[in-house]
A and B are shown apart, each in its own frame.
Chain A
Amino acid sequence: MALFRTARRIAAAALLLGTSVVAAQAASTLETVKARGKLICGVSMGTTGFALADAQGKFAGFDVDVCRAVASAVFGDPSKVDFVMTNINTRFQVLQSGEIDILSRQTTMTYSREASLGIDFGPTVFYDGQGLMVAKSLGINSAKELDGAAICTLPGTTTAQNLADFFRTTGKKFELVVFENPDENNNAFFSGRCDAVSSDRSDLASIRAGSKSPGDYVILPETISKEPLAPAVRQNDSNWRDIVSWSVWMMMAAEEKGITQANVDEQAKSTDPEIQRMLGGTDDLGPMLGLDKKWGYNVIKQVGNYAEVFDRNLGEKTALGLSRGPNTLWNNGGLLYPPPFR
């Protein structure tokens, strides 16, 4: 509820007012997480494919699996995570104030966020971009044809700014209706109050998957912004940031090396020296970050490689039906390029 969210934001501001400076200078995040016995991960308020709780309250999704991978790396157990649903407006404050350890919430890495919000981003886990979706019946093939249209959107981040920039550069006018609540936003689009809805392309696929007849809607080809989605952690804890980053890269490297959930035990016997280092066979890479020697093995065994995580949550066979697009390994013409494990 909007009221609740605004209250939440004010509470977050109040937290900044009240938290004593001394208490905030606590132990490192890794120590805190280990002492607590579980990871606390901030995810979205329910987005098909990225983070959604089932009837039993068990979370699943792409963003959820990123946190599970970190839990596997730290504890060797992907279930040692508590998921907290974070509001799009308060997500950074919740991270800053220490309520969560990782923000894994379809969040775009930008310069000003990195520079002014007191947070650090990990590697891009999903290359996204803001797009526009319309009803097929409009007979439109390009966002450039949307002159004079009404567009619905959520207040998130720079969504409104990107739209204004896009229409200013093309010299077109549009009417923007901003909703605080995703349900109201979707209702306004599906009822025809708005001609188009704008969000990250992955999110549009999610909205479409949730409609009564997904076939009636089409996502226009234009990508009007770059949205590299990445997990975020608090600034000035490089050890924790490294753990999050390398957990993500471990999944990408596993895909590159052909290591899967199914064959990881077999691969552990491989003679490839990098695979040996990744899975904790030879070198002790784990302890350098304060992790177990077998952390990489655990991540792949328990969560899977990048391709498995993508296909399970977002891929062609899911309701979202997203193709890999730019989220393909570099040697297949994509943008995923995990640094070497050595």
Chain B
Amino acid sequence: MSPIVLLRNRRVRELAYQVICVAAVVAVGWYLLSNALANLAKQDIATGFGYLGREAGFVISETPIAYEPSDSYARALLVGLLNTVKVALLAIIFSTVIGTLVGIARLSSNPLLSRLMLFYVEALRNVPLLLYLFLWYSVIIFTLPPVRQAITLLPGVYVSNSGLVVPAIIWNSGFWVAVVAVAMGVAAAVAWFKFVRHRRITTGKALPGWPVAIALLVLPVVAAALLFDISGDVDWPVLGKFRLTGGAHLKPEFVALLVGLTLSASASVAEIVRSGILAIRKGQREAAKSLGLSDGQAMRLVILPQALRVIVPPLTNIYVTTFKNSSLAIAIGYPDLVMVSNTIMNQTGQAIEPIALFMLTYLILSLLTSVVMNWYNGHVALKERQS
């Protein structure tokens, strides 16, 4: 067949378009990459990822895992990544809880409450997050006293503009036994509640929920304490020459970032929750009330579960945005992935590789968030009943 005849074939044409498209994308990518490499070589700028194994040589103020300046750049990056994940995950959890409450309160028939929440949402949604971060951070460092005049909230609990310090427990032995005991207690209590509910639905008989659950929570811990050697010391914070040493520290940089991310995400979550609730027909609430459910029960048992279907997809967006917004940490001195990358860029003089690395990391974090949320969305989506 001649090429002309081949092109008349629709499937061949479609394939040809796709091949041309892919080739064009690859060509542009190749052009940019080779250009960058040629420019870098011409300007005698070092390239490659060889720096990752070299000694980092700088300290990081917040390290979820052990890290010393003598560790590698790769480990410093991992510390930065964990700091990013830590603050973003906590912000997501808190903003979901606060946002849901605010979203419901926005629909309250109490005009004071609903107006107040309207103000909350609009004030937080319409001002750039960066400005709020500067505000929260300034509020912390300028309104709280310096560490030497720290406020003592409780014995061993200090608040100053260097953060919150509480006593910590240093485990001498039996740490994992204690963890397992607590986990067993929680699992038993959850199982008990499921059983009580199942029992009520099938037989209509009510069993005591909380008293038994508390007993189930406490029993394994007591048993573990009697059977195993569990001991620890309380590490009391002590005022040293400059800082409070010992205990667990919550740094103001972390708090300001967490508060900023949480509040601005919660405003968006509130609007999504409100729209989700409004999407449920009025008849659902009326039906629930005619069955004798209270307002709270109707919301919790009937409306919210249905609203979730509308809420979850846009919520994914907010979560992804929260991860990305956490990179504003650099403005207020929280050592996230971007800040650690910046320090590395300064020390190595290489910019393209660290930028490529943190862009890739954010991409992976965003995709992971989407995957988890899509799974959850599938879980709550409307399941057609097979009759």
Given contacts A3-B328, A96-B45, A235-B44, A148 and B243 within 8 Å (CB-CB)? yes
Inter-chain contact A19/B39, CB cutoff 8 Å = yes
Task: Please indicate the chain B residues that have their CB under 8 angstroms from the CB of A156 in the complex.
Answer: 346
Inter-chain contact B335/A178, CB cutoff 8 Å = yes
Task: Please indicate the chain B residues that have their CB under 8 angstroms from the CB of A152 in the complex.
Answer: 333
Distance in Å: Cβ of A338 to nearest Cβ of chain B: 28
Interface string of B32-43 (1 = CB under 8 A from A): 110110111011
Distance in Å: Cβ of A180 to nearest Cβ of chain B: 5
Choose among B35, B69, B243 the residue that contacts A18 (Cβ–Cβ < 8 A).
Answer: B35
Q: Does B343 contact A (CB under 8 A)?
A: yes
Given contacts A89-B345, A158-B347, A195-B242, A164 and B59 within 8 Å (CB-CB)? yes
Inter-chain contact A176/B331, CB cutoff 8 Å = no
Give complex CA distance A192, B160 in Å: 10
The B interface, classified by DSSP as helix, strand, loop or mixed, is: helix
Given contacts A160-B59, A177-B333, A193-B252, A19 and B35 within 8 Å (CB-CB)? yes
Given contacts A6-B330, A147-B241, A156-B346, A17 and B35 within 8 Å (CB-CB)? yes
Task: Please indicate the chain A residues that have their CB under 8 angstroms from the CB of B36 in the complex.
Answer: 16-17
| Stretch from A52-60, A181-189, A241-249, A281-289 contacting the other chain | A181-189
Give complex CA distance A112, B45 in Å: 10
**Closest B residue to A179 using CB positions:** B333
| Stretch from A70-78, A113-121, A267-275, A309-317 contacting the other chain | A113-121
Kindly name the residue among B36, B161, B333, B343 whose own CB sees the greatest number of chain A CB atoms within 10 A. B333
Inter-chain contact B346/A158, CB cutoff 8 Å = yes
Inter-chain contact B142/A191, CB cutoff 8 Å = yes
A103-126, CB < 8 A from B: 112-113, 115-118
Q: Does B130 contact A (CB under 8 A)?
A: yes
**Closest A residue to B146 using CB positions:** A192
Q: Does B312 contact A (CB under 8 A)?
A: no
Give complex CA distance A118, B41 in Å: 9
Q: How many A-B residue pairs have CB under 8 A?
A: 163
Q: Does A168 contact B (CB under 8 A)?
A: yes
Give complex CA distance A67, B148 in Å: 46
Distance in Å: Cβ of B351 to nearest Cβ of chain A: 5
Distance in Å: Cβ of A65 to nearest Cβ of chain B: 27
Count chain B residues whose beta carbon lies closer than 8 angstroms to a beta carbon of A: 57
Q: Does B352 contact A (CB under 8 A)?
A: yes
Choose among B38, B327, B349 the residue that contacts A92 (Cβ–Cβ < 8 A).
Answer: B349
Choose among A24, A158, A178, A191 the residue that contacts B333 (Cβ–Cβ < 8 A).
Answer: A178
Inter-chain contact B332/A192, CB cutoff 8 Å = no
Q: Does B245 contact A (CB under 8 A)?
A: yes
Give complex CA distance A138, B134 in Å: 27
Q: Does A80 contact B (CB under 8 A)?
A: no
Count chain A residues whose beta carbon lies closer than 8 angstroms to a beta carbon of B: 62
Give complex CA distance A187, B240 in Å: 23
**Closest B residue to A114 using CB positions:** B44
Choose among B57, B61, B355 the residue that contacts A176 (Cβ–Cβ < 8 A).
Answer: B61
Q: Does B46 contact A (CB under 8 A)?
A: yes
Q: Does B272 contact A (CB under 8 A)?
A: no
Task: Please indicate the chain B residues that have their CB under 8 angstroms from the CB of A181 in the complex.
Answer: 331
**Closest A residue to B340 using CB positions:** A178
Inter-chain contact A13/B146, CB cutoff 8 Å = no
Q: Does B316 contact A (CB under 8 A)?
A: no
Give complex CA distance A18, B142 in Å: 45
Inter-chain contact B57/A148, CB cutoff 8 Å = no
Inter-chain contact A16/B245, CB cutoff 8 Å = no
Task: Please indicate the chain A residues that have their CB under 8 angstroms from the CB of B338 in the complex.
Answer: 6
Task: Please indicate the chain A residues that have their CB under 8 angstroms from the CB of B35 in the complex.
Answer: 17-21
Q: Does B147 contact A (CB under 8 A)?
A: yes
**Closest B residue to A161 using CB positions:** B57
Distance in Å: Cβ of B167 to nearest Cβ of chain A: 18
Inter-chain contact A16/B40, CB cutoff 8 Å = yes
Task: Please indicate the chain A residues that have their CB under 8 angstroms from the CB of B70 in the complex.
Answer: 168
Given contacts A18-B32, A164-B59, A193-B162, A179 and B42 within 8 Å (CB-CB)? no
Q: Does A31 contact B (CB under 8 A)?
A: no
Inter-chain contact A148/B241, CB cutoff 8 Å = yes
Choose among A9, A18, A161, A193 the residue that contacts B58 (Cβ–Cβ < 8 A).
Answer: A161
Task: Please indicate the chain A residues that have their CB under 8 angstroms from the CB of B333 in the complex.
Answer: 152, 177-180, 184, 188
A6-41, CB < 8 A from B: 6, 9-10, 12-13, 16-21, 24
Distance in Å: Cβ of B161 to nearest Cβ of chain A: 5
Distance in Å: Cβ of A54 to nearest Cβ of chain B: 26
Q: Does B141 contact A (CB under 8 A)?
A: yes
Task: Please indicate the chain A residues that have their CB under 8 angstroms from the CB of B33 in the complex.
Answer: 17
Distance in Å: Cβ of A340 to nearest Cβ of chain B: 31
Q: Does A175 contact B (CB under 8 A)?
A: yes
- Chosen A-B contacts, 18 in total, with CB atoms closer than 8 Å, are A1-B331, A2-B328, A3-B331, A6-B327, A16-B36, A116-B349, A117-B45, A155-B342, A160-B347, A164-B59, A175-B59, A177-B253, A180-B333, A181-B331, A192-B146, A193-B161, A193-B252, A195-B243
Chain A residues proximal to chain B, CB less than 8 Å = 1-3, 6, 9-10, 12-13, 16-21, 24, 88-89, 92-93, 96, 112-113, 115-118, 138, 145-150, 152, 155-158, 160-161, 163-165, 167-168, 174-181, 184, 187-188, 191-193, 195, 234-235
4 new A-B contacts, CB < 8 A, other than A16-B40, A89-B346, are A2-B328, A9-B345, A178-B335, A191-B142
Chain B residues proximal to chain A, CB less than 8 Å = 32-33, 35-36, 38-40, 42-46, 57-61, 69-70, 130, 134, 137-138, 141-142, 145-148, 161-162, 240-243, 245, 252-253, 327-328, 330-333, 335, 338-339, 342-343, 345-347, 349-352, 355
Query: Would you list the 8 A-B pairs with minimal beta carbon distance, nearest first?
Result: A192-B146, A118-B43, A160-B58, A2-B331, A116-B46, A149-B242, A164-B69, A191-B141
